[in-house]
């Protein structure tokens, strides 16, 4: 199953955000183990670097990018994604890019903490907890 993992889930793992860490880490682990085909949009790298560079510095931020790249497939940011995102009804342009990337990747789900931001998405948005429940027999 292909899933597009939103930036906030990636940051939950990298920053060990305790309220959200366990389910996000389980999602990451399943992608590492190839039980899930996890993808991130190309903008995830920009977002993560921007946030981490300010908090922990350039070198640790680059290490985080390497870990993301080793683990996840990357949905490229190209003209078609931008056109799709511009045409979308989402108030947040970044969310529109994530939805367009999920569509291009033929993702079954967008895994995010902000499910309500994806209310009009043709790809269902689920939390990491919800995804783990879906995957359990």
Confidence of residue 67 (pLDDT cuts 50, 70, 90): very high
pLDDT tens per residue, range 70-88: 999 999 999 999 999 999 8
Looking at the DSSP bridge assignments, the partners of residue 75 are 41
Distance of alpha carbon 80 from alpha carbon 111, whole angstroms = 22
The H helix count followed by the E strand count for the chain is 7, 5
Distance of alpha carbon 133 from alpha carbon 84, whole angstroms = 31
Domain that holds residue 24: 2-135
- What global pTM score does this model have? 0.93
Output the pLDDT for position 91: 79
pLDDT tens per residue, range 16-26: 998 899 999 99
Q: Is the pLDDT of residue 131 over 80?
A: yes
Residue 29 CB contacts under 8 Å (≥ 6 apart), including other chains = none
- Site of tokens 């899930």: 36
Output the pLDDT for position 73: 98
Q: How many distinct structural domains can be found in the chain?
A: 1
Domain of 77, CATH number, reads 3.40.50.1010
């Amino acid at each position: 199953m292909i899933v597009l993992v939103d930036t906030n889930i990636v940051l939950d793992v990298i920053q060990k955000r305790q309220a959200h860490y366990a389910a996000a880490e389980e999602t990451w682990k399943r992608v590492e183990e190839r039980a899930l085909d996890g993808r991130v949009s190309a903008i995830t790298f920009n977002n993560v670097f921007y946030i981490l560079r300010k908090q922990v510095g350039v070198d640790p931020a680059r290490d985080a990018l390497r870990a993301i790249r080793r683990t996840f497939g990357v949905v490229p940011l190209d003209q078609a994604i931008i056109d799709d995102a511009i045409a979308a009804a989402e108030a947040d342009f970044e969310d529109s890019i994530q939805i367009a990337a999920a569509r291009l990747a033929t993702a079954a789900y967008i895994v995010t903490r902000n499910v309500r931001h994806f209310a009009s998405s043709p790809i269902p948005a689920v939390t990491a907890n919800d995804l783990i429940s879906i995957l359990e027999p």
